Amino acid sequence: MSSIAPRRSAFGLSIGSIFASFVMIGGVQVLIAGLRGPLSLGAVRSINWIISKSSHSIPALRIGSFQWTVVIENLVVSVLFLVAGLTIGAWLRRDHR
């Protein structure tokens, strides 16, 4: 058995793995921001449909708008962030010998 062993950090973490996780978290945040418009529009339409079926004296909720270009842009950026985070993580996991 060799007396020279590779030194590992206390929790098996490195600055690179923490950076990769932050990049992936940023991708998830951009994904949530991108899907907020279509999901809120669907929720408002569903609530208005329920209101229309249950009572005619309750006013309907105001339907907002969003731009599909912003949604598509956020989804593309989200995919890029997630792929970059996974690539950094895979690069750090490979054997450096």
| Percentages (nearest 5) of helix, strand, coil residues in the chain | 70, 0, 30
- What's at 79, amino acid-wise? V
For residue 7, pLDDT beyond 80: no
Delimit the domains of the chain by residue range: 17-54+64-93
Q: How confident is the model at residue 6 (pLDDT cuts 50, 70, 90)?
A: low
Look-up of token digits 């309907």 = 60
Q: What is the tens place of the pLDDT at every residue in 33-78?
A: 999 999 999 999 999 999 989 888 888 889 888 899 999 999 999 9
Residues 19 and 46: their CA atoms lie apart, in Å, by 40
Q: What single string gives the DSSP state of each residue in 16-35?
A: HHHHHHHHHHHHHHHHHHHH
Q: What does each C-alpha distance from 21 to 4, 31, 69 come to in angstroms? A: 30, 15, 27
**pTM of the full structure:** 0.70
